[in-house]
């Protein structure tokens, strides 16, 4: 039977596009609110030297959960500070606290409503099931479109992922209040709200708090995912370590997450019945903490305002001193950090994320003629889609024009001589690559775009396959990173190998694993090594364990890219 595919994905695309435009004002408002709240939390947490917060947290944990745990907190936080993850930890704690706060503000009322109305409960339950089982990654996609990249889409995605337990447990807690108590309350003629606040909620509190505790833990489990769209903190450290295969740093950052999890878990679990409640009254302790927070918030707020007045840099202020970056492991990211140092761009920050998120952000800014600075490279479809320019780089932080090399594993020449020959003879021009990229950008499936290009360029492809033995179905596994350039090249060469009798598998990975995979022979090769400068470090590290087949393309360029309508021309103008 030939039933056409239901265009579910297309419908969602259209819906999301419509929502993006229709609610643009609302999203901007929400972004501003969430960002300001987060800034306040971060400012308060990082107001004094780290030791002050460490002591406050130690005392708080000791008070709620006994002194051994207090000692654990002290030692673990000192260790986190010593290892150099303090600032990241503050970011992470702030993100988790804010997501937690949002789940409480929204989750508890919804939970109460569910407990009171059967219909609401019936509608909300399947929605919660859906929210919890849909892979959290999926929320990131519309979140980027609605809220741009940065911390806000991360917080929203964490919030959606984490809110369910608070709603469910609030509902459960209230429903579990013994019937006779309700009857008694009714008998005394109490109103609904009296019943709720004087009977149901107090009795349900332990259950509700258990839900809140779970929500906080779920939010914490989202930090690495959130870093994919640019949320800073320990999650970003872990993600960076993965993409550079830095086991040591990954472990350190992971350990810091574990410590913070334990601390947040114990505080939120025992908040209601602190261990030393009989020694110091709970109300006194919490009032002191609240006062401390308010005073710090006000003081830091005032100092920040005065600092802002002195801001003379127009461009910097316009783009919030942010450069929109891509995957943390990419060479262009270290080059940009170098540029920030070379040109002494104090205050400027390089936002980590992904190539796709960067492109989405650029598109959004461009449509609205807003200023934006991104890390960009050529060849790239964005130069034919938008009017863009590279900022001049007189200090050459981004190196000169480069080549892209093909690199294969040792032993491929013996195991699959035909594939080796084709990979060795593969070379094309930036214009070729750009054509494939543009086709993909316009919605063609990458494999199909590759096929289209191959069909139109038989002569060129003939030179690559010239003299190559046909394969007998041997498998060839190519790795690549999801940069637009490499999606194009890898699909093209993959198709050519396939057409010559090989069973080709393309695996998308991060930069570090791409090099490591070829070096340890677990994959056969890649066509994505930007040399001599962009991937210098990876090349140096693995050069003895790989076979470098030389350039497959000449004439690439990395740098900072801005829309033509922006009134700057050189990286020096950012100062």
Phi, psi of 563 (to 5 degrees): -65, 150
Min dist CB 145 to ligand PBE, Å, is 22
- Using CA atoms, how far residue 155 sits from 104, 177, 302, 317, 564, in Å, is 14, 33, 26, 24, 33
Smallest separation (angstroms) from ligand PBE to the CB of 572? 22
Q: Which is nearer to ligand PBE, 168 or 557 (CB)?
A: 557
CB nearer ligand PBE, residue 89 or residue 336: 336
**Cα(471)–Cα(62) distance, integer angstroms:** 68
Q: How far is the CB of 402 from ligand PBE (least distance, A)?
A: 9
List interacting residues with ligand PBE (CB under 6 A): 326, 330-332, 377, 483, 485, 511, 530, 534, 558
Task: Return the number of the residue (6 or 400) whose C-beta is nearest ligand PBE.
Answer: 400
Which lies closer to ligand PBE via its Cβ, residue 161 or residue 539? 539
Q: Give phi and psi for 398, each to the nearest 5.
A: -95, 10
- Element (DSSP H or E) covering residue 563: strand 546-563
- Cα pseudo-dihedral 409, 414, 419, 422, rounded to 10: 90
Q: Min. distance of Cβ 551 from ligand PBE in angstroms?
A: 14
Nearer to ligand PBE, 249 or 405 (CB): 405
Q: Of the two residues 45 and 333, which places its CB atom closer to ligand PBE in the complex?
A: 333
Shortest Cβ distance from residue 331 to ligand PBE (Å)? 3
Nearer to ligand PBE, 43 or 484 (CB): 484
Question: Phi/psi of residue 468, each to 5°?
Answer: -85, 135
| Largest distance between two CA atoms of the chain | 96
Question: What whole-number distance in Å separates Cα of residue 323 and Cα of residue 459?
Answer: 42
Please say which residue, 114 or 330, places its beta carbon nearer to ligand PBE: 330
Q: How far is the CB of 239 from ligand PBE (least distance, A)?
A: 15
**Three-state DSSP class for 486?**
helix
Closest contact distance (angstroms) between CB of 560 and ligand PBE is 12
Nearer to ligand PBE, 223 or 433 (CB): 433
- Residue 372: both structure tokens together: 């934006």
What are the beta bridge partners of residue 405?
A: 529, 551
Task: Give the whole-angstrom CA distance, residue 524 versus residue 419.
Answer: 10
CA dihedral 362, 367, 370, 376 (to 10 degrees): 20
Question: 13 or 396, CB closer to ligand PBE?
Answer: 396
Quote the least distance from Cβ 88 to ligand PBE, whole Å.
Answer: 23
> Residue 391 in 3-state DSSP?
coil
Minimum distance, C-beta of residue 80 to ligand PBE, in the bound complex (Å): 30
Distance CA 552, CA 174 (A): 66
The SS3 assignment for 474 reads coil
Query: Smallest distance, Å, CB 447 to ligand PBE?
Result: 20
Give DSSP secondary structure letters for 514-538: HHHHHHTTSS-EEEEEEETTTTHHH
Query: What values do phi and psi take at 352, rounded to 5?
Result: -90, 150
Bridge-based pairing state of the strands 546-563 and 525-531: unpaired
Q: How far apart are CA 51 and CA 46, in angstroms?
A: 10
């Amino acid at each position: 039977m030939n039933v056409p595919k239901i265009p579910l994905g297309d419908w969602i695309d259209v819906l999301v596009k419509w929502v993006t435009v229709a609610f643009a004002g609302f999203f901007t408002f929400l972004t501003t609110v969430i960002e300001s709240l987060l800034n306040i939390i971060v400012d308060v947490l990082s107001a004094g030297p780290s030791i002050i917060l460490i002591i406050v947290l130690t005392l708080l944990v000791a008070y709620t959960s006994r002194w051994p745990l207090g000692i654990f907190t002290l030692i673990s936080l000192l260790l986190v500070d010593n290892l150099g993850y303090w600032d990241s930890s503050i970011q992470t704690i702030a993100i988790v606290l804010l997501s937690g706060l949002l789940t409480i503000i929204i989750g508890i009322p919804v939970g109460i409503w569910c407990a009171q109305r059967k219909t609401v409960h019936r509608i909300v339950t399947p929605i919660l099931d859906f929210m919890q089982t849909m892979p959290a990654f999926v929320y990131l996609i519309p979140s980027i479109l609605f809220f741009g990249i940065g911390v806000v889409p991360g917080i929203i995605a964490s919030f959606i992922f984490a809110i369910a337990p608070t709603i469910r447990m609030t509902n459960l807690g209230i429903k579990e209040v013994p019937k006779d108590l309700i009857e008694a309350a009714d008998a005394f003629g109490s109103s609904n709200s009296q019943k709720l606040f004087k009977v149901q909620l107090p009795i349900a509190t332990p259950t509700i708090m258990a839900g809140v505790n779970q929500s906080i833990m779920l939010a914490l489990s989202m930090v690495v995912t959130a870093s994919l769209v640019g949320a800073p903190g320990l999650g970003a450290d872990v993600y960076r370590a993965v993409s550079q295969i830095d086991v040591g740093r990954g472990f350190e950052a992971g350990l810091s997450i574990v410590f913070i999890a334990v601390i947040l878990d114990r505080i939120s679990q025992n908040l209601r019945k602190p261990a030393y409640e009989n020694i110091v009254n709970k109300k006194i302790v919490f009032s002191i903490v609240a006062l401390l927070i308010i005073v710090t918030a006000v003081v830091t707020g005032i100092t920040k305002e005065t600092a802002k007045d002195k801001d003379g840099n127009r461009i910097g202020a316009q783009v919030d001193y942010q450069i929109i970056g891509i995957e943390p492991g990419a060479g262009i990211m270290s080059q940009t950090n170098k540029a920030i140092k070379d040109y002494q761009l104090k205050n400027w920050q390089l936002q980590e994320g992904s190539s796709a998120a960067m492109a989405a952000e650029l598109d959004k800014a461009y449509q609205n003629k807003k200023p934006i600075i991104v890390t960009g490279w050529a060849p790239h479809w964005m130069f034919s889609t938008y009017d863009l320019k590279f900022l001049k780089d007189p200090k050459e932080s981004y190196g000169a024009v480069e080549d892209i090399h093909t690199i294969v594993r040792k032993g491929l020449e013996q195991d699959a001589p035909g594939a080796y020959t084709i990979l060795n003879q593969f070379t094309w021009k930036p214009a070729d690559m750009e054509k494939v990229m543009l086709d993909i950008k316009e919605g063609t499936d990458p494999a199909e775009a590759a096929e289209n290009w191959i069909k139109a360029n038989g002569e060129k492809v003939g030179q690559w396959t010239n003299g190559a033995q046909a394969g007998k179905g041997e498998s060839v596994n190519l790795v690549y990173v999801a940069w637009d350039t490499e999606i194009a090249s890898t699909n093209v060469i993959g198709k050519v190998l396939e057409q010559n009798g090989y069973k080709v598998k393309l695996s998308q990975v991060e930069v570090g694993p791409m090099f490591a995979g070829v070096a340890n022979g677990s994959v056969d090769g890649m066509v994505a090594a930007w040399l001599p400068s962009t991937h210098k470090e990876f090349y140096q590290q693995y050069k003895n364990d790989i076979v470098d087949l030389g350039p497959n393309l000449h004439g690439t360029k990395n740098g900072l890219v801005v829309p033509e309508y922006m009134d700057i021309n050189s990286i020096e103008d950012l100062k």
